[in-house]
């Protein structure tokens, strides 16, 4: 009888799971960057200790290195999600835009014709808020 899933046949999945869990946790349960950095630092220290330890210690605490690698992948996923989330950037349009403000945007793709509208995606360059132009880094979905 074969096992339900053999990790040896798909090792990439075993590494992808903690990375994806880090992305999902950063999206739904935001943690502070300092906490993530501390977890990463502890994981790196554990891996460095294992790299210079004796073979008997490595064998005895083999699971600990796997946990450290999984924690490191989890932290990398969370940090990448935090870094790429435009809502957490100071230049996010949601912090500066209100009704009757002006926007400068570049259309990034050709217009797509729908049944009764045209659709385009634009990158917002700046927002004129309270008479002052503020640089912004956001995307906008335009329907004409």
The reported pLDDT for the residue numbered 115 is 87
φ, ψ of residue 128 to 5 degrees: the values are -95, 100
DSSP H or E stretch at residue 124: strand 118-129
Percent of all residues in the chain with a pLDDT value above 70, rounded to a whole number: 90
The reported pLDDT for the residue numbered 125 is 84
Gap between the Cα atoms of 137 and 90, Å rounded = 9
**Which of 9-18, 84-93, 135-144 shows the lowest per-residue confidence on average (mean pLDDT)?**
84-93
- Say how many Å lie between the first and final Cα of the chain, rounded: 60
Residues 70/47, Cβ–Cβ less than 8 Å: no
Gap between the Cα atoms of 125 and 105, Å rounded = 5
Average pLDDT over residues 57-80: 87
* Band of pLDDT at residue 1, cut at 50, 70 and 90: low
The reported pLDDT for the residue numbered 74 is 93
The reported pLDDT for the residue numbered 58 is 77
Contacts of 30 (CB under 8 A, 6+ apart): 82
* Band of pLDDT at residue 95, cut at 50, 70 and 90: low
- Per-residue pLDDT tens digits for 6-55: 666 777 888 899 999 999 988 888 777 788 889 899 999 988 888 888 88
* Band of pLDDT at residue 75, cut at 50, 70 and 90: very high
CATH of region 93-143: 2.30.18
What is the chain's mean pLDDT, rounded? 83
pTM of the model: 0.65
Closest CA to 14 of 78, 67, 58, 82: 67
């Amino acid at each position: 009888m074969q096992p339900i899933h053999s990790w040896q046949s798909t090792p990439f999945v075993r590494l992808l799971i903690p990375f994806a869990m880090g992305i999902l946790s950063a999206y739904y349960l935001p943690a502070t960057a300092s906490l993530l950095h501390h977890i990463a630092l502890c994981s790196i220290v554990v891996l460095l200790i294992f790299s210079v330890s004796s073979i008997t210690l490595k064998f005895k605490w083999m699971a600990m290195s796997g946990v450290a690698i999984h924690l490191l992948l989890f932290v990398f996923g969370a940090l990448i999600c935090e870094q790429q989330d435009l809502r957490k950037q100071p230049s996010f349009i949601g912090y500066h835009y209100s009704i009757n403000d002006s926007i400068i945007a570049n259309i990034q793709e050709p217009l797509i014709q729908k049944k009764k509208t045209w659709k385009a995606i634009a990158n917002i360059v700046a927002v004129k808020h309270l008479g002052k132009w503020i640089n912004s880094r956001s995307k906008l979905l335009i329907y004409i």
